[in-house]
Amino acid sequence: MAFIAFDNVTKLYPGSAQPAVDRVSLEIRQGEFLTLLGPSGSGKTTSLMMLAGFEGVTSGTIRLEGQPIERLPAHHRNMGVVFQSYSLFPHLSVAENIAFPLKVRKLAATEIAARVERALDRVHLRDFAGRRPNQLSGGQQQRVALARALVFEPRLVLMDEPLAALDKRLREEMQLEIRRLHREVGVTMVYVTHDQSEAMTLSDRVAVFNQGRIEQLDVPSALYDAPANPFVAGFLGDNNRATGTVAGHAGATVQVALAGGGSVVAARASTALAAALESAGAARRDVTLCIRPERLRVLAEADQAPSIAATVVDLIHQGDHWRMIARLDHAAADVAAWHVKLPPGGVLAGARPGARVRLAFSAEDAWAF
């Protein structure tokens, strides 16, 4: 039995024709760190708020340990919640903020003191116990919010973009802090973000949301290396695209005739395409080609290896790698220039803006959807 289960859950706001969450089914395992990832308006935060009890369910069922909870008030669900805004009480000290949920539950004073002390140690804030929130940095305030969410030992902790207000360095530090706390405490965590790097760093599994539905649910490495469709490929990591039609297929690969001319061989990435290729009408089927920038190789223009002709638009040094921007000779009008990620010493001699090159890749590194 799943620890948490969404069964065909829909949320439709009054006056809206499009559901914010559209028939979502999802199972969450006890003790795992699951991230709901997607762009603004994709349904990820609404799903979290329905789980927390702050939003009602239009239809469907949410179960916690097998019991329906969609009608259970939020304060009876025993869940810790961490928001982007921290929501700390400005007139209370750090220790008093952490103690607040314990006092609401009317625990004994000695038990409260012991738990607050453990929580302060857990987030490395023992020396800040007497300070007020406005005397802390953003990262320290977020640690207080985490300690407060964990101190009453909830069965589930929900986090809604808790690091969005922090600068890049602090965000990265707090990601590691949250990862450490999850491993140390072992509580189930459900985390909402639009930051794919954050999702990759923190999660056991990631549910990618788009237009109220889950496009794919899997471990981060599988989402990156085997995306289910072009949306997932584009949202999780950098991705180059081109459009074309199926010119032929053999085994797990397809020959793709690019819309602007030329052809390439790519992996048959989607089950829908695989099924279509078995039908009589599969020839000339429209497809989208996707490939990661780090999977491309840059060859000299005269190289005869299977590749795509292109012109270098720009070459940018980004510290640990070079980013080449190149426009394909025969790309369709709506295809943006491709990006190539190269190691520090991997730039082809003479590959400067205006230079003619060829972009090569292995069939298994390109996906046809």
Which pLDDT belongs to residue 293? 96
Please check whether residue 250 is in contact with residue 238, taking contact to mean a CB–CB distance below 8 angstroms: no
Which pLDDT belongs to residue 276? 67
Within a domain: 356: yes
Same-domain pairing of 174 and 262: no
- For 105-135, the pLDDT digits (tens) are 999 999 999 999 999 999 999 999 999 999 9
* Residue 262 structural domain: 238-363
The full length of the chain comes to: 369
Which pLDDT belongs to residue 63? 97
Please check whether residue 119 is in contact with residue 102, taking contact to mean a CB–CB distance below 8 angstroms: no
Output the domain CATH number for residue 117. Answer: 3.40.50.300
Single residue among 207, 232, 257 that ends a domain in this structure:
232
Same-domain pairing of 98 and 24: yes
- For 240-277, the pLDDT digits (tens) are 999 888 888 877 888 888 887 788 899 876 666 666 66
Q: Is the dihedral of CA 245, 293, 36, 11 positive or negative?
A: negative
Tell me what percent of the residues of the chain surpass a pLDDT of 90: 70
- For 205-222, the pLDDT digits (tens) are 999 999 999 999 999 999
Which pLDDT belongs to residue 351? 83
Residue 247: its H or E element: strand 240-250
Within a domain: 369: no
Tokens 């702050």 sit at which residue? 54
pTM over 0.85: yes
Domain count, the chain: 2
**What is the distance, to the nearest Å, from the Cα of residue 209 to the centroid of all Cα atoms in its chain?**
9
Which pLDDT belongs to residue 87? 87
Same-domain pairing of 40 and 78: yes
- For 224-247, the pLDDT digits (tens) are 998 999 999 999 989 999 988 888
Which pLDDT belongs to residue 258? 87
- For 66-75, the pLDDT digits (tens) are 999 999 999 8
Within a domain: 116: yes
- In angstroms, how far is the first alpha carbon of the chain from the final one? 34
Q: Kindly report the CA angle at 77 between 119 and 69, in degrees rounded to 5?
A: 155
Which pLDDT belongs to residue 272? 64
**What is the pLDDT confidence band of residue 346, given thresholds at 50, 70 and 90?**
confident
Is the pLDDT score of 283 beyond 70?
no
Helix extents (H) in 105-206? 109-122, 138-150, 168-185, 196-202
Mean pLDDT, rounded, of the chain:
91
Same-domain pairing of 304 and 223: no
Within a domain: 10: yes
Which pLDDT belongs to residue 152? 92
**What is the pLDDT confidence band of residue 278, given thresholds at 50, 70 and 90?**
low
